[in-house]
Amino acid sequence: MAALIAENFRFLSLFFKSKDVMIFNGLVALGTVGSEELFSVVAFHCPCSPARNYIYGLAAIGVPALALFLIGVIWNNHTWNLVAECHKRGIKNFSAAATFLLFGSIMGRAAVAPVTWSVISLLRGEAYICALSEFVKPSSLDKFPAEYGAEVLARFPCKDVPANLTKFRDEVTRRLRYESQLFGWLIIGIVAVLVFLTKCLKHCCSPLSYRQEAYWTQYRSNEDKLFRRTAEVHSRILAAKNVKQFFGFVALDKEEKELVQEFPVEGVQPSPQWNAITGVYIYRENKGFPLYSRLHKWAKGVEGNGPSPEAHEMLFLAS
């Protein structure tokens, strides 16, 4: 158990450090697999009771998947950029294609963990067997005793059955596990085809060349890293100045003293500047020159958010 907890902490560390979409999605999937295994070992216990099995089995598959989906939506930066966009500017400047692209990006990223959870649950089969064992028709089982019905079938997942029904329990379990795994493999196949078609459509519809798209990805990653690092230093220096003004002095370590001396902070950025660099960003060009982010757009002094001859919306969202 200690090793499993340590592994989950390592996963979370990598999760929050990862910026690449493929690595991010891979880590989400691996973490979901580990969580599903832990849930199956520790938490999943079929009630083996008519009417309860079905609800419990579906809840074991659906409720964690729903929770993972909502967590994925919450952790996606595009979600809060969209909230900021709607709050400050509305989405009237976005075309229908751009809006669909944005929601597709949010939902697609958020669906990685719940789909993985559902697939692993179906491949394992326990939840599916628990949910549907009571619905197996006794007439489909050769020479099944007529005196037994749904109540004894509901106990099959717990193996708590009379000795003369052992072979029927094995047959029902095998049949339901086959169905469960078949659905799991079908979902994997469908998702793989959808991902392939989406990637093809994305590259076919992209206004950028492969190299420029790679450069844009690198730019956004570097901008985000530098912005966060600079914001952390700026806020620390500003806090130090305010604390010094209140107490008359401020207790700084050697590194912080060097930062205060090296980077003098005169004030704070006004709210209009923060609003200008916050929100959803669809790739745009100004007079033929690319604008790679809202910060880039602000730095170039380009006004407005809607498409125009000089600020053209290219209907392409960053990954």
112 CB-near residues (< 8 Å, 6+ apart): 25, 28, 29, 32, 72
How many residues are given for the chain?
319
Same domain for 239 and 90, yes or no, is: no
Q: Give the pLDDT band of residue 30 (cuts 50, 70, 90).
A: low
Distance CA 9, CA 15 (A): 10
Backbone torsions φ then ψ of 284, nearest 5 degrees: -135, 160
Residues linked to residue 289 through DSSP beta bridges, in sequence order: 286
| Total of domains in the chain | 2
Return the SS3 of 143. Answer: coil
CA distances from 178 to 111, 150, 218, 259 (A): 25, 20, 45, 63
Percent of the chain at pLDDT > 70 equals 78
Q: 168-176 long-range contacts, Cβ below 8 Å, gap at least 24?
A: 168/141, 168/144, 171/141, 172/129, 172/133, 172/136, 172/141, 173/129, 173/133, 175/136, 176/125, 176/128, 176/129, 176/132, 176/133, 176/136
Asked if residue 7 is part of any domain, the answer here is no
CB 141 within 8 A of CB 64: no
Confidence bin at 219 (pLDDT 50/70/90): very high
Write down which residue in 172, 205, 238 finishes a domain: 205
Q: What does the alpha-carbon distance between residue 216 and residue 211 come to, in Å, rounded to a whole number? A: 9
Structural domain contains residue 9: no
Same domain, 268 and 199: no
Q: Is 218's pLDDT higher than 80?
A: yes
- Residue 278 vs residue 223, higher pLDDT: 223
Q: Same structural domain for residues 82 and 165? A: yes
Mean pLDDT across the stretch 216-234? 93
Same domain, 43 and 131: yes
Q: Is the pLDDT of residue 279 over 70?
A: yes
Q: Would the pLDDT of 48 be above 60?
A: yes
- Greatest mean pLDDT among 87-91, 230-234, 283-287 lies in 230-234
Residue with the larger pLDDT of the pair 309 and 230: 230
| pLDDT value of residue 282 | 78
Token couple for 67? 């929770």
Domain presence at residue 1: no
Q: 134 lies in which domain range?
A: 35-205
Same domain, 233 and 288: yes
- 144 vs 190 pLDDT, higher one: 190
For residue 250, tell me if it sits in a domain.
yes
What pLDDT score does 106 carry? 86
Tell whether 194 and 217 lie within a shared domain: no
Give the pLDDT score at 203.
78
**CA R_g for the chain:** 27
Contacts (Cβ under 8 Å, ≥6 apart) of 184: 118, 119, 120, 121, 122, 123
Average pLDDT over residues 241-264: 91
pLDDT tens, position by position, 291-314? 999 999 999 988 655 444 334 444
Q: Does 179 lie in the same domain as 85? A: yes
